Amino acid sequence: MKVLITGGAGFIGSNFVRHLLNSKRDVNVINFDSLTYAGNPESLADIAENPRYQFIRGDVTDKQAVDAVFKNGLDALVNFAAETHVDRSIEDATPFLRTNILGTQCLLDAAKRFKLPKFVQISTDEVYGSAPAGVSFTEETVLDPRSPYAASKAAADHFVSAYANTYGVPAVVLRCTNNYGPYQFPEKLIPLMVANAREDNPLPIYGDGMQERDWLFVEDYCSAIALALYKAQPGTIYNVSAGAPQPNLKIVRTILKHLGKPESLMQYVKDRPGHDRRYALDSSKIQKELGWSPKVSFEEGIRRTVDWYQSNTAWLNHARSGEYRNYYDRHYVRRTETFSK
Ligand code: NAD
Ligand code: DAU
């Protein structure tokens, strides 16, 4: 089986490339990634020489480059390639429309023309919008994206179902909650808090810190994606979640406890505009139909994650150099100043 993985140098993509190569002996993986600020070949250094792995630097909006990969024959595609950070989408939505919508459409066009047997679209729980207390959204919930990032992902989902309906592209859509684990770029909540706390820098908490996210350990998500790749019927949408939303403050306190750092490092800053209060998904459909279930408890997952960042400081420091510094200064220095005025 020859699988094209787009965006495989990012957080979930790199974990999935590794998961697939280690769990399936008959799989060849092509990782097609343009290496934006979030893409990092160091996340796959351990498998770079694997004869069943090939890396191609390319952009999902580049028709010629995409066609060149499809021409050699593919059995499936898993599309992770995306601009993924909500705060950056608030700063400038343009790259989100380009990669998340036009890039998905470019891949769908190739899938149509080359009659790809399976297209797995990696979507997000954010397409449903904010969930009221006590409610977990199902696959039937009407989409209500509320940030520029979420709107671009919802548009991509609509294109996937339009191409399935119009041209018969055999597509499966996965909508997952927040992932955490090794190799996550440190602009996201958990690695950012670990990185700052290690150096006794302030931990910026948006608003009151009581927003809830339904955290899933990345290995558990990888096993769900593999099941979808091998077993899901075309035309199916699956929600994936741990089913246990928790407030941000609780997550940050847990990280501080693991690192032995004081809660006085927490600093309340100006809230994210349009901040979704709560994400929560019902994942009973994938559990029932594909036999998936999460295996890693939050307690174990967060311990493994904090330990990983503690023992991979070279990876972390490299990720936090260059472009990251500009982003951090632009985003947080301004935010803190505005808040304290
Ligand atoms: P990430 O930001 O860590 O990585 C994205 C990858 O896509 C990078 O390697 C980047 O170089 C690549 N990329 C970006 N633009 C590209 C382009 N035009 N052409 C080719 N490659 C390009 O992202 P992630 O957190 O691993 O998320 C992966 C996917 O999962 C995304 O589609 C995201 O919307 C979705 N998702 C993420 C989470 C989460 O918690 N991280 C949860 C639900 C869904
Ligand atoms: O829900 C799935 C989504 O999860 C994915 O589709 C996105 O790609 C991914 O980035 C993530 O989006 P969030 O906005 O939920 O993740 P983030 O890590 O940016 O923020 C998590 C929560 O923590 C959110 O309520 C905002 C808050 N936060 C975040 C940062 C970076 C803070 O309080 N302070 C911060 O500095």
Q: Is 211 left (phi over 0), alpha (psi -120 to 50) or beta?
A: beta
pLDDT of residue 338: 56
99 in helix, strand or coil?
helix
Q: What angle do CA 321, 180, 206 make, to 5 degrees?
A: 70
Q: Decide: 206 in ligand 2 pocket, CB within 6 A.
A: yes
Measure Cα distances from 30 to 78, 120, 160 in Å. 10, 15, 21
**Overall domain count for the chain:** 1
pLDDT of residue 334: 72
155 domain residue, yes or no: yes
**Which residues fall within 8 angstroms of residue 240, CB to CB, at 6 or more apart?**
174, 175, 176, 177, 216, 221, 224, 281, 283, 286, 292
CATH value at residue 114: 3.40.50.720
Yes or no: say if 319 and 185 are a contact pair by the CB < 8 Å rule. yes
For ligand 2, the distance from its centroid to the CA atom of residue 76, given in whole angstroms, is 30
CA dist 299 and 295 (Å) reads: 12
Which residue's CA is the nearest one to ligand 1's atom 41?
A: 179
Per-residue pLDDT of the chain (341 residues; tens, 9 = 90+): 999 999 999 999 999 999 999 999 999 999 999 999 999 999 999 999 999 999 999 999 999 999 999 999 999 999 999 999 999 999 999 999 999 999 999 999 999 999 999 999 999 999 999 999 999 999 999 999 999 999 999 999 999 999 999 999 999 999 999 999 999 999 999 999 999 999 999 999 999 999 999 999 999 999 999 999 999 999 999 999 999 999 999 999 999 999 999 999 999 999 999 999 999 999 999 999 999 999 999 999 999 999 999 999 999 999 999 888 888 888 897 776 655 43
Strand-pair partners of 123: 175
Mutate to test the pocket of ligand 2, among 183, 213, 253, 327 (most ligand atoms within 8 A of CB): 213
Q: Decide: 252 in ligand 2 pocket, CB within 6 A.
A: no
pLDDT of residue 324: 85
30 domain residue, yes or no: yes
Q: Decide: 9 in ligand 1 pocket, CB within 6 A.
A: yes
86 domain residue, yes or no: yes
Residue with tokens 């992770």: 80
Q: Decide: 36 in ligand 1 pocket, CB within 6 A.
A: yes
111 in helix, strand or coil?
helix
Which residue's CA is the nearest one to ligand 2's atom 25?
A: 211
190 domain residue, yes or no: no
Q: Are strands 246-247 and 212-213 parallel, antiparallel or unpaired?
A: antiparallel
Yes or no: say if 100 and 158 are a contact pair by the CB < 8 Å rule. no
Strand-pair partners of 267: 204
136 domain residue, yes or no: yes
198 domain residue, yes or no: no
Yes or no: say if 211 and 152 are a contact pair by the CB < 8 Å rule. no
Using alpha carbons only, how large is the chain's radius of gyration in Å?
19
Which residue's CA is the nearest one to ligand 2's atom 6?
A: 124
125 catalytic? Reply is yes
Q: Other CB atoms closer than 10 Å to residue 79's CB: what's the count?
A: 26
339 domain residue, yes or no: no
pLDDT of residue 340: 44
CA dist 156 and 27 (Å) reads: 27
Mutate to test the pocket of ligand 2, among 124, 127, 130, 188 (most ligand atoms within 8 A of CB): 188
41 domain residue, yes or no: yes
Give the distance from CA 215 to its chain's centroid: 12
Ligand 2 atom closest to the Cα of residue 275 is: 25
Q: Which ligand is nearest to the CA of 157?
A: 1
What residues make up the domain containing 228?
A: 2-179+216-242+278-296
pLDDT of residue 135: 98
Which residue's CA is the nearest one to ligand 2's atom 35?
A: 189
Q: Decide: 204 in ligand 2 pocket, CB within 6 A.
A: yes
